[in-house]
């Protein structure tokens, strides 16, 4: 009986193997344009997501209201648009950097920004950065206890009247005063003008939307960039450290009415060159270089 069962199992196994379709033949190799596009596409989509997509998903939340703040500079009381999102590299003084929800208010008439932020490692504490004119960073911050509701809950309204204290880098006393009243804007109600202001809250994005051109309901820009890749030394090269630089362009676009709709197109390689350098001679001067 046991032998019969084993033979039956073996027969079924062979039959199943025989009926399995053969593996698909490998597809044609990628063209150079397809290979480069596959390497750079994600970065461009991530940038567009930071500009518009995160607001459509509600990952970044927008508030409107009024705010006044004083700390190194003065933000006079007036209308602001504020964004609330999880932010990295928040400067926490002697504690280093932190990550947490940050509420960044922008006053376009005054061209100034102000930020309040919290972290899970310091529950109950709120940090208030110094008022920062456009083009400058926030620098040091003051802190206060139980002075603001939890920003991580993305509340419908945010109201505060606080004083945050700390020290400057030279250990002199620092104080930041702020008061404001803000109401959450539903994602579906956001306009392109709202997102333009919201992007001014992010130093990395500030003024980038100025380079987009509107055609109907679409915003787009043609951008040129380089992809640098370490490559093996060509046979004719004298130096060992070699890099291929591929210059390309593509169009970044998004819908001015549906911020969940964005992408890239019109990719093309403009030039490609391999250059090798002699890093053994690297110092105060440009190391010897040869290009192919």
User: Model confidence over 12-50: pLDDT tens digits?
Assistant: 444 445 456 677 777 788 899 999 999 999 999 999 999
Per domain, the residue ranges of the chain are: 32-54+212-291, 60-199
Query: Residues 264, 37: contact at Cβ < 8 Å?
Result: no
Nearest to 185 by CA among 157, 149, 143: 157
Average pLDDT, integer, range 191-217: 92
User: Model confidence over 236-286: pLDDT tens digits?
Assistant: 888 889 999 999 999 999 999 999 999 999 999 999 999 999 877 655 667
Query: Structure pTM?
Result: 0.82
User: Model confidence over 51-99: pLDDT tens digits?
Assistant: 999 999 999 999 999 999 999 899 999 999 999 999 887 876 656 677 8
Count CA atoms within 13 Å of residue 264 on its CB side. 20
pLDDT of residue 92: 63
Q: How confident is the model at residue 5 (pLDDT cuts 50, 70, 90)?
A: very low
8-23 burial, b at 16+ Cβ within 10 Å, e below that, comes to eeeeeeeeeeeeeeee
Cα–Cα distance, 84 to 201 (Å, whole number): 10
pLDDT of residue 281: 63
- Where do the DSSP E strands lie in the chain? 61-71, 73-91, 97-107, 112-117, 125-129, 132-133, 141-145, 157-167, 173-185, 213-215, 218-231, 241-255, 262-277, 289-291
SS (H, E, C) 195-225: HHHHHCCCCCCCCHHHHCEEECCEEEEEEEE
Rounded to 5°, angle at Cα 216 from 211 and 220: 30
Q: Does 2 have pLDDT greater than 70?
A: no
């Amino acid at each position: 009986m046991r032998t019969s069962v084993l033979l039956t199992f073996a027969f079924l196994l062979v039959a199943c193997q025989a009926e399995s379709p053969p593996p698909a033949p490998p597809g044609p190799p990628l063209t150079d344009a397809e290979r480069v596009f596959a390497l750079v596409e994600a970065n461009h989509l991530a940038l567009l997501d930071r500009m518009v997509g995160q607001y459509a998903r509600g990952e970044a939340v927008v508030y409107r209201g009024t705010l006044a703040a004083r700390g190194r500079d003065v933000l006079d009381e007036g209308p602001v648009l504020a964004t609330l999102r999880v932010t990295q590299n928040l400067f926490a003084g002697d504690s280093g950097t932190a990550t947490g929800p940050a509420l960044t208010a922008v006053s376009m008439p005054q061209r100034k920004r102000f930020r309040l932020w919290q972290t899970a490692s310091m529950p109950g504490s709120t940090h208030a950065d110094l008022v920062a004119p456009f083009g400058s960073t926030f620098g040091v911050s003051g802190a206060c206890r139980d002075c603001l509701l939890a920003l991580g809950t993305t509340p419908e309204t945010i109201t505060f009247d606080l004083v945050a204290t700390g020290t400057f880098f030279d250990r002199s006393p620092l104080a930041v005063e702020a008061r404001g009243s803000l109401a959450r804007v539903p994602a579906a109600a956001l306009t392109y003008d709202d997102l333009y202001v919201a992007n001014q809250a992010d130093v990395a994005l500030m003024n980038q939307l100025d380079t987009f051109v509107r055609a109907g309901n679409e915003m787009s820009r043609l951008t040129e960039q380089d992809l640098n890749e370490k490559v093996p030394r060509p046979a004719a090269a004298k130096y060992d450290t070699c890099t291929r630089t591929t210059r390309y362009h593509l169009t970044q676009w998004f819908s001015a009415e549906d911020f969940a709709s964005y992408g890239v197109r019109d990719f093309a390689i403009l030039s490609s060159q391999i250059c090798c350098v002699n890093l053994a001679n690297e110092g105060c001067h440009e190391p010897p270089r040869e290009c192919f």
